[in-house]
Structure 1
């Protein structure tokens, strides 16, 4: 099983809008972190789609090892 690239060891704050769908990068190779730009092509990774439940600021995982994707759970502190 492939391991994702750690794009950074801290979360990325993103303002999301209720009802909009976002595509979180799971491979870590995207140049548009934390979102997918198609860089996973040729790997076993696929982006994770999620729809915002409300307008808010969320903290998306950038280390790609969270247990609560796409949200940061602090796992980066142990990498």
Structure 2
């Protein structure tokens, strides 16, 4: 299994309206942290998630969270040379 592209160490802090969203798991999207279809031809698939009410969320940008799409602090355990 290949590794995703690390977009950023810091999570994306976003105020999201209710709705369905697609989080980029491959790290290649030009609309980070959301999917733009750049995963085509890779083994990665976007992660769908639903926001029920307007919320502030922290979405993972390092692509290594165990709680995808949300940041779980995994970026703190990655080596500095990956960024």
Aligned to 1:32, what secondary structure does the other structure show?
coil
| Matched length | 78
**Structure 1 residues 9-60: Cα deviation after superposition (integer angstroms, max 9, x where no partner):** 0100111112x00000000011110000111010011101101022111000
For 1:26-45, list aligned pairs within 5 A. Answer: 26-45=25-44
Give me the CA root mean square deviation.
Answer: 0.7
Tell me the secondary structure at the aligned position of residue 63 of structure 1. Answer: coil
Structure 1 residue runs of 5 or longer lacking an equivalent are none
- Equivalent position SS for 1:76: helix
SS in 1 for 2:41: coil
Instruction: Give TM-score scaled by structure 1 length.
Output: 0.94
Question: d(CA) in 1 for partners of 2:62 and 2:52?
Answer: 23
Aligned to 1:64: 63
Q: Which residue matches 1:8? A: 8
Match of 1:50 in 2: 49
Gaps of 5+ in 2: 79-83
